[in-house]
Structure 1
Amino acid sequence: MKNKTVYLLMILATFFWAGAFIAGKLGINALSPTLLTFFRMGLASLILFPVLIHKHPQTWKINSDQLKIVIATGLIGMIGYHMFFFSALKYTTASKAAMINASNPLITAFLASLFVSEKLTLKKIFFIFTALLSVIFILINGNIENLLTLTLNKGDLLMLCGTLSWAIYSVIVRKYIRQFGALKLSAYTFLSSTIMLAPFALITFVKTNAIAVGLNPYLAVIYMAIFPTVIGYLIQQYAIGQIGASKTALFINLVPIISTLLAVILLNETVHFYHLVSLIGIILSVIGFNRVKV
Structure 2
Amino acid sequence: MSKSAYLFPLIAVVAWAGNGIVSKMSVGLIDPAAIAFYRWMIAASILLPFVLPTLWRQRKLVQKHLFKLSILGGLGMVALQTLTYVAAQTTSATHIALIGSVVPMMAMLWSIAVLREQPTQGMVAGSLLSFLGLSYLITEGHPLSLFQHQLNHGDLLLLLGATCYGLYGVLIKRWQLPFSTWPSLFLQMAMGAIWLLPVFLTQADSTITTQALPLVLFAAIVASLLATFAWLKGLEHLGPNKATSFMNLNPIIGTLLAVGLLGETLSLHHYLGGSLTLLGVLMAQRLKTPLRLRRKRAPAA
Above 0.5 in TM-score?
Answer: yes
Q: CA offset at residue 214 of structure 1?
A: 2.2
SS of 1:90 mapped into structure 2:
coil
Q: Is residue 2:301 matched to residue 1:279?
A: no
Aligned to 1:157: 156
Q: Is residue 2:209 matched to residue 1:214?
A: yes
Output the CA distance in 2 between the equivalents of 1:58 and 1:242: 30
The 5-angstrom pairing of residues 180-219 of structure 1 reads 180-204=179-203, 208=205, 210-211=206-207, 214-219=209-214
- How many aligned positions are there? 288
SS of 1:71 mapped into structure 2:
helix
- Per the alignment, do residues 128 and 267 of structure 1 end up closer, same or farther by CA in structure 2, a change over 3 Å counting? same
The 5-angstrom pairing of residues 33-182 of structure 1 reads 33-53=32-52, 56=54, 59=57, 61=59, 62-177=61-176, 179-182=178-181
Output the CA distance in 2 between the equivalents of 1:254 and 1:123: 20
Code of the aligned partner of 1:101: G
1:69-100 per-position Cα deviation (integer Å, ceiling 9, x unaligned): 11111122211222211110000001111100
Q: CA offset at residue 6 of structure 1?
A: 2.0
Code of the aligned partner of 1:261: L
Q: CA offset at residue 57 of structure 1?
A: 7.1
Aligned to 2:299: none
- Per the alignment, do residues 254 and 59 of structure 1 end up closer, same or farther by CA in structure 2, a change over 3 Å counting? farther
The structure 2 residue matched to 1:288, chosen from 274, 283, 289, is 283
- The structure with the larger Rg is 2
1:118-164 per-position Cα deviation (integer Å, ceiling 9, x unaligned): 22212332112211221121111111332232211111111111111
1:176-197 per-position Cα deviation (integer Å, ceiling 9, x unaligned): 2353333332211001111232
Q: CA offset at residue 64 of structure 1?
A: 2.2
Output the CA distance in 1 between the equivalents of 2:80 and 2:169: 11
Q: Structure 2: where are the runs of 5+ without partners? A: 290-301
Greater share of residues in helix? 1
Aligned to 2:229: 234
Output the CA distance in 2 between the equivalents of 1:49 and 1:101: 29
Instruction: Output the aligned Cα RMSD.
Output: 2.0
Output the CA distance in 2 between the equivalents of 1:165 and 1:290: 19
Contact 2:108 2:123 in 1 (8 A): no
Q: Structure 1: where are the runs of 5+ without partners? A: none
TM-score (norm 2): 0.89
TM-score (norm 1): 0.91
Contact 2:87 2:158 in 1 (8 A): yes
SS of 2:73 mapped into structure 1:
helix
The structure 2 residue matched to 1:251, chosen from 246, 254, 270, is 246
Structure 1 residue ranges, 4+ long, deviating more than 4 angstroms after superposition:
56-60
1:2-31 per-position Cα deviation (integer Å, ceiling 9, x unaligned): 3x2221121121111111011111113222
> Once the two structures are aligned, what percentage of the paired residues are identical?
25
Deviates most, 58-67 or 157-166: 58-67
Contact 2:55 2:62 in 1 (8 A): no
Contact 1:53 1:60 in 2 (8 A): no
SS of 1:30 mapped into structure 2:
coil
